[in-house]
Structure 1
Amino acid sequence: MSTRNISHSDDPFIESKADLIQPMANGEKPIERWKIGTEHEKFVYCRETFKAPSYDEEGGIRDMLIALGEFGWKPVEETAPDGTVNIIAMSGSDGTVSLEPAGQLELSGAPLDNIHETCAETGRHLAQVKAIGAKTGKGFLGMGLWPDKKREELPIMPKGRYKIMLNHMPRVGSMGLDMMLRTCTIQVNLDYSSEADMAKKFRVGLALQPLATALFANSPFLEGQPNGFTSYRSHIWSDTDPHRTGMLPFVFEDGFGYERYVDYMLDVPMYFVYRNGQYIDAAGLSFRDFMDGKLSVLPGEKPRQSDWTDHLSTAFPEVRLKSFLEMRGADGGPWNRICALPAFWVGLLYDGAALDAAWDLVKNWSMEERENLRNNVPKMGLTTPVPGGGTLRELGAVVIKIAAMGLANRNRLNSSGDHEGGFLDPLREVIATGKTPADQLLQRFHGQWHGDISHIYDEMSF
């Protein structure tokens, strides 16, 4: 989730809908300036006990963040209502390392030119946190869901927006707290050249997001036992908050563009307003009222551009638009999958021929078919039937070939002369075997692990 670095007390007031559209229009870039931003989360645990460390215990999450200073990272601080100053993130040339609600560590990587750079960035980050973990007795687990933890066993991080969200989530869905406390994801942020380019990428991204969910499915355990899903993380989103999640049918309607997404976001209830270094609880209130100066928690005050930027970060559809597009369907996983996700989406969306080919595969699907695909994939994985016949495994074989073509056409080479297509190898293996990461873990759980979930810490740690 987003980490705010400063309070924009002097940024422009929003005067009209045009001001809401502007950040999205400002995101347009010529193809030579397109970048790749990769984010990944991981669970932190104590090696001796497997428990999740708290923020302020010795060697806990705060101390780990501070230790990143050894590698040149700088602290981002937030002042709590009682005056306590907490370090909530570390900022550096490789992006930002921030805290998820229960202490999951997230690297929000810098905008990079190619996936070779993405993997190098990820490798640097993992080497740094593992070095810190070696000194503090901490390990890092690459999964989409805590495999063995109950909610009440997990700590809460001292971040202002999380307190508001934790209070609000149970009012609007049964699994919002699970989303915040028990999940990890990999995400890719991508650019577009125009409103039409954004719309086409958005549509392909939404339609094929269930395939990404299946290929990266890595959350088959809950509280130490199989949960009946390959991606329980994806299932959690089905009852988190219907106002701000889902497949966004309007994206596939004629005329979709920036303004239609703005209209959607204006209908998404607010979470908070940030003023003078503090988060003000505005959960459930209307940004439209805010624009009219009628927000009950700030009567007479109108929003600034930074308030809109904050609000854009509080919707969680399968693809999200800010000044770039976010692909949000994948479970957390090991290093090679952190590299595979940008390879998948960059291959499909950053080459014109590949984008056209991907759109041809999905453009005739009905909204009901898209919804069914999304609803079935958390449980069925690669065996999920797709519109027109066949399964996601069969569709995946075709899509990965298209992605490989797109990466070959990009021709971004490393020092050895390799292009980015090799990063798709973990996905090729999934298609070849028909087994998602979750399927493989379940096989081991019922086989050599003899039902002992603790083995997952040996096999799925970074």
Structure 2
Amino acid sequence: MTQRTDDTPATHRLIESRDDLLSVFSGGEKPAERWRIGTEHEKFVYRVEDHRAPSYAEPGGIRDLLDGLTEFGWAPVIEGENAIALSGPDGTISLEPAGQFELSGAALENLHQTCAEANRHLGQCKTIGERLGLGFLGLGMWPDKARSDLPVMPKGRYKIMLNYMPKVGTLGLDMMLRTCTIQVNLDYSSEADMAKKFRVGLALQPVATALFANSPLTEGKPNGYRSFRSHIWEDTDPDRTGMLPFVFEDGFGYERYLDYALDVPMYFVYRDGKYIDVAGESFRSFLEGKLPQLAGEKPRLSDFVDHLSTIFPEVRLKSFLEMRGADGGRWGKICGLPALWVGLLYDSQALDAAWDLVKDWTIEERSQVRHAVPKTALKTPLPRGGTVHDLARQVLQIASDGLSRRARLNSAGDNESGFLDPLHEVVATGVTPADRLLDKFHNEWNGDVSRIYEEFSF
């Protein structure tokens, strides 16, 4: 989840008009030469000696991990009396609710830089982790932990969300405490460009879910899904999740997304270093100065930016687009996810070709695939024939061609298309990460889920 670190004077100004709200979206517009890649990836932290999830304050726990990383130039971000994040040239390191460790990477020019950044971060984590007796697991969901096994990090927004989630869905606490993801944040040049990328990203998000499916175990047993993490989002909070059918309607743009965002119930307002619980209240009421908890006070632009970070559709718009459909995974997948979407969305020919694959689907057909893919992944049938596996093969070829045309070369003269190799292997074999995990669980491991720590750690 987004870590709140933007505290510039510009975000403190009061919202005076609808145009101020729309400026968050339009302000993200950039010419193609300034488009960047921001990759986010989460991993589970565990104690090597007993595979327990460490708490924040225990010796050798999450606080000590954050403190140890400062020797690499990271600076603490403080909330109350606690360091709850780090900032540095490689972006921001933040904590998910149960201590899942996230790098929200810097805005970079190419995928070679993205993978170098991920490699630096993982190397730093391993260095400090070995000193503290901590390991890091690259999966989409804790394979063996119940909710009651997990600590909660001392972040004000999480206390509010943990209280609210059970009121609106049955799996929201699992989303917060037991899952990890890989995401990529990408730019757009105009409102029309944003709309086209949003539609392609949303329509093809089930392909990413299938290719990265990596959460087939819950509390030590198969859960019947390839991506249980993706299934969890279907019963987290219907007000702020889903496939957003309106994105595919004629005339979709900033105005329509703004109306959607304003109708999503709030979680909190941040004031004087503290989070005020306003869960379930309306941002529209806040705009009118009628928020019960802050009577007479009107929102700042930073309040709206915070609110946007509490909306969780499959693709999210802020001042950039976030692709949100993939399970967490190891190094190759951390590089593969941004490679997939950069190849599809940052080359105009690829973007057109990708849209041609799915532009005629109905809302019902899109929803059908989205609902089925967490369980059946690549084997999911498509409404008009074929399977997600067939679609993934086409999508990967389009992405590879897009990356080749981008021609961002490293010192050896290689373009970025090689970062798709782990995904080409999935398509070539028809075997997802979840399938490999289940095969090991049933055969080589003979049902012993603890073996996962030996073979699936970073």
Does residue 446 of structure 2 align to residue 446 of structure 1?
no
Does residue 236 of structure 2 align to residue 240 of structure 1?
yes
Partner of 2:3: 3
Partner of 1:35: 36
Letter in 2 for 1:77: I
Partner of 1:82: none
Q: State the shift of 1:110 in Å.
A: 0.0
Does residue 255 of structure 2 align to residue 259 of structure 1?
yes
Equivalent-residue separation in structure 1 for 2:386 and 2:454 (angstroms): 36
Partner of 1:302: 298
Partner of 1:224: 220
Where structure 1 has 5 or more consecutive residues not aligned to the other structure, the ranges are 80-84
Partner of 1:156: 152
Letter in 1 for 2:284: R
Letter in 2 for 1:4: R
Partner of 2:288: 292
Equivalent-residue separation in structure 1 for 2:3 and 2:39 (angstroms): 15
Rate the CA distance shift 1:384–1:65 in 2: closer, same or farther, 3 A.
Answer: same
- 1:7–1:276 Cα contact (<8 Å) kept: no
Letter in 2 for 1:26: G
Give me the identity figure in percent: 70
**Helix, strand or coil for the counterpart of 2:183?**
strand
Does residue 402 of structure 2 align to residue 406 of structure 1?
yes
- 1:34–1:190 Cα contact (<8 Å) kept: yes
1:199-220 CA-partner distances (Å, limit 9, x unpaired): 0000000000000000000000
Equivalent of residue 191 in structure 1, options 147, 169, 187: 187
Letter in 2 for 1:369: E
Does residue 106 of structure 2 align to residue 133 of structure 1?
no
Equivalent-residue separation in structure 2 for 1:395 and 1:343 (angstroms): 17
Letter in 2 for 1:124: R
Partner of 2:197: 201
Letter in 1 for 2:397: K
1:211-251 CA-partner distances (Å, limit 9, x unpaired): 00000000000000000000000000010000000000000
Partner of 1:377: 373
- 1:95–1:108 Cα contact (<8 Å) kept: yes
Equivalent of residue 90 in structure 2, options 77, 90, 94: 94
Partner of 2:24: 23
Q: Which has the higher mean CA deviation after the structures are superposed, 10-19 or 96-105? A: 10-19
Letter in 2 for 1:201: K
Partner of 1:72: 73
1:110-136 CA-partner distances (Å, limit 9, x unpaired): 000000000000000000000001101
Partner of 2:166: 170
Where structure 2 has 5 or more consecutive residues not aligned to the other structure, the ranges are none
| Structure 1: 4+ residue segments shifted above 3 A | 6-10
Q: State the shift of 1:297 in Å.
A: 0.4
Equivalent-residue separation in structure 2 for 1:290 and 1:418 (angstroms): 52
Does residue 343 of structure 2 align to residue 347 of structure 1?
yes
Equivalent of residue 315 in structure 1, options 299, 306, 311: 311
Does residue 365 of structure 2 align to residue 364 of structure 1?
no
**Helix, strand or coil for the counterpart of 1:187?**
strand
Partner of 1:458: 454
- 1:319–1:326 Cα contact (<8 Å) kept: yes
Partner of 2:384: 388
Equivalent of residue 109 in structure 1, options 94, 105, 125: 105
Cα RMSD (Å) of the superposition? 0.8
Equivalent-residue separation in structure 1 for 2:414 and 2:111 (angstroms): 11
Equivalent-residue separation in structure 1 for 2:108 and 2:249 (angstroms): 32
1:19-46 CA-partner distances (Å, limit 9, x unpaired): 1100100000000000000000000000
Letter in 1 for 2:290: K
Q: State the shift of 1:64 in Å.
A: 0.4
Q: State the shift of 1:6 in Å.
A: 6.0
Q: State the shift of 1:7 in Å.
A: 5.2
Equivalent-residue separation in structure 1 for 2:251 and 2:46 (angstroms): 48
Q: Provide TM-score, normalisation by structure 1.
A: 0.98
Equivalent-residue separation in structure 2 for 1:460 and 1:74 (angstroms): 30
Alignment length (residue pairs): 457
Equivalent-residue separation in structure 2 for 1:142 and 1:425 (angstroms): 18
1:341-363 CA-partner distances (Å, limit 9, x unpaired): 00000000000000000000000
- 1:102–1:180 Cα contact (<8 Å) kept: yes
- 1:7–1:274 Cα contact (<8 Å) kept: no
- 1:272–1:280 Cα contact (<8 Å) kept: yes
Q: Which has the higher mean CA deviation after the structures are superposed, 148-157 or 385-394? A: 385-394
Equivalent-residue separation in structure 2 for 1:198 and 1:458 (angstroms): 42
Equivalent-residue separation in structure 2 for 1:179 and 1:418 (angstroms): 38
Equivalent of residue 268 in structure 1, options 250, 264, 272: 264
Equivalent-residue separation in structure 2 for 1:331 and 1:399 (angstroms): 18
- 1:8–1:306 Cα contact (<8 Å) kept: no
